[in-house]
Amino acid sequence: MKSGKVNLVEKSKKSYRVARPKQTGFSSPATHYTEPRIDLNAELIKNPSATFYVRVIDNSFSDFEILENDVLIVDKSLVPKNNQLAVIVKEDTFQIERIDANSKEEIQLWGVITYVIKSVV
């Protein structure tokens, strides 16, 4: 691979929708299988090349109601706004903090948390 050249992976532009047949009589109990699946990547991610999934491994972020096995969707391309949750690097570990625009403390931002997918099991 030549240095300096970046190859981006693009999301598929194909439509997987199934045309509904014209029915007469009662509908089949299997008609709900013709519905397209929800693609969480398409629904939740605005910038795929800068977005990462992070699984939380313990309950140390329970102050933010982020618990073990929750999945964070983190976008590294966003600029954090006041009061948003962000993943920062502090003392060589990843930490979650709420951004305070009035704070004079310097932080090393890793990305902005856009969604928290909760584990209910």
**CA 94, CA 9: separation in Å to the nearest integer?**
27
Over the stretch 56-81, which tens digit does the pLDDT of each residue have?
999 999 999 999 999 999 999 999 99
The structure tokens listed for 98 are: 């709420």
Looking at residue 33, what is its pLDDT? 65
Residue 111 has pLDDT above 60, yes or no: yes
**CA 25, CA 30: separation in Å to the nearest integer?**
14
Show the domains of the chain with their CATH numbers.
Answer: 40-117 (2.10.109.10)
Long-range CB contacts (within 8 A, 24+) of 76-81: 76/50, 76/51, 76/52, 76/110, 76/111, 76/112, 77/47, 77/50, 77/51, 78/111, 78/112, 78/114, 79/112, 80/109, 80/112
For residue 44, how far is the Cα from the chain centroid?
6
**CA 87, CA 81: separation in Å to the nearest integer?**
13
Q: Average pLDDT for residues 101-119, to the nearest whole number?
A: 92
Over the stretch 89-104, which tens digit does the pLDDT of each residue have?
999 999 999 999 888 8
**Strand, helix or coil at 68?**
coil
Q: What share of the chain is helix, strand, coil (3-state, %, to 5)?
A: 10, 25, 60
**CA 51, CA 111: separation in Å to the nearest integer?**
9
Residues in the chain: 121
Over the stretch 9-37, which tens digit does the pLDDT of each residue have?
666 677 766 666 666 666 667 666 666 78
Looking at residue 31, what is its pLDDT? 63
